Amino acid sequence: MSYLDDIKNLVASDKKYIWHPFTQMKEWIEDEPIIITEGRDCFLKDANGKWYLDGVSSIWVSIHGHRKKEIDDAIKNQLDKIAHSSLLGLSNIPSIELAKKLIRLTDKSFAGLNPRLSKVFYSDNGSTAVEVSLKMAFQYWIHKGKKNKTSFLSLKNAYLGDTIGAVSVGGIDIFHEVFRPLLFKTYKAPSPYCYNCELSKTPLECSFACLNEMEKILERHSDEIAAVIIEPIVQAAGGMIVWPDGYLNGVRYLCDKYNVLLIADEVATGFGRTGKMFACEHEGVVPDIMCLSKGITNGYMPLAVTLTTDKIYNAFLGEFKDLKTFFHGHSYTGNPLACAAAIASIDLFEKEEILKNMQPKIAILRDKLREIADLPSIGDVRNKGLIAGIELVKNKSTKEPYPWEEKMGWKVAYKAREEGVLIRPLGNVIVIMPPLSISLENLERLLGVIKGSIISATR
């Protein structure tokens, strides 16, 4: 059997056996899929031997690029000891070392600020980290004698995960509406989506009208709202919506004023993506609960953490008979291999001065985005750190979008794929989120291909 026959068999087996996420399978089985066989630095190689620049960090998880020696070695060394043991009634060394490292990291990031994050709860992906945060906030108020605080406030255009609790606090109808009968009641405030303000305000007349709407909800319902849950600074899957300065501080103020907890979902924005270790740092805001995943292991192993304060943790302490235990956990909680990978990944930030070396890359991204913004099919460009969104529009002056079924975002992605660049759009928004380790040369190539692909697809 030839090598080409092997590839044909792989393609046939994929189409026969795999149901891919967020994929219309009718189209998939009619198309020719890319099968990845190898990764190196910021590149991925397919079964035909073609290399592609990974423009979205394999869905936002690769911080340091693929096949990073320090992380490879950390996993190999841990594998010689043990691959997995439970945290239910036991502990393990990597989980202890990682928890200590995470708390020291947040202490450094939020030095002198309150509240202080001090406890780490492990799970295995961003959705479960959010699910943990919701249950933790809910049960906290029960222990504090406020049993009516059973709901949550989130933002429209929010995407906080795929589990039922996370979908309940989500706010993107195209993804979430079909599941409405399964969801619990939550409150939704307008998101600070300045390009498409749902309150029809211009930046000059805004004065944070969206925050005023959030306050109206809290005024009426704070006695039943356990927490406000947000994606700080950048609402990622909602379209890379970048918040105006001051909005996050305003949310923290309202949470304190109305006695509700603040949950920050930093699954997409954590670990340097926005130019600081955590997005909340940009405005000196410390959440009561913070969710992390994606880049925590550089994409090597599934791992997530939910960090919280002593105030919340202490509310769960009591006698066995009191049933104050946090009844939540996962089989792979605190997996030693995943924790070893995360420790190595975090250590690389200091060793390679990741945040410092990002600054010239951020400058290049901003310059190239200004060029792209002048194209006739571009409604808005927005970025924070090495996260960017390019919003395609059919009519620049009226902001009329391309119809969803026209798949304009995907047409751009397919053009980029022909040029050896892999990106994945969010509807009509082209997403740019390369590994933080990307070289200046490869970053310029990435942005050049994206610009050319937009011109070609929208011509």
What would the mean pLDDT of 249-278 be, rounded to a whole number?
98
pLDDT value at position 3? 59
Same domain, 346 and 366: no
Q: Are residues 282 and 408 in the same domain?
A: no
Residue 96 lies in a domain: yes
Write out the H or E segment, with its range, that includes residue 426: none
Domain that holds residue 188: 76-351
Q: What CATH number did the domain enclosing 400 receive? A: 3.90.1150.10
Burial 198-228 (b: 16+ CB within 10 A, else e): eeeeeeeebeeebbeebbebbeeebebbbbb
Q: What is the mean pLDDT of the chain?
A: 96
Do the bridges between strand 117-123 and strand 304-309 make them parallel or antiparallel, or are there none, so unpaired?
antiparallel
Query: In this structure, are 317 and 394 located in the same domain?
Result: no
Average pLDDT on 327-355 reads 97
pLDDT band at 390 (very low <50, low <70, confident <90, very high): very high
Whether 60 and 116 map to the same domain: the answer is no
Same domain, 119 and 210: yes
Do 188 and 118 fall into the same domain?
Answer: yes
How confident is the model at residue 380, as a pLDDT? 98
Give the chain's domain count.
2
Higher pLDDT among residues 453 and 5, named by residue: 453
Answer yes or no: do 333 and 431 share one domain.
Answer: no
Q: Do both 117 and 51 map to the same domain?
A: no
Look at residue 175 and tell me if it is in a domain: yes
Query: 71-119, pLDDT tens digit by residue?
Result: 999 999 999 999 999 999 999 999 999 999 999 999 999 999 999 999 9
Is there a domain that residue 90 lies in?
yes
What is this structure's pTM?
0.97
Whether residues 363 and 304 fall in one domain? no
With bands split at pLDDT 50, 70 and 90, how would you rate the model's confidence at 206? confident
* The two structure tokens encoding residue 443: 């970053």
DSSP three-state, residue 277:
coil
Q: Could you tell me if 178 and 253 lie in one domain?
A: yes
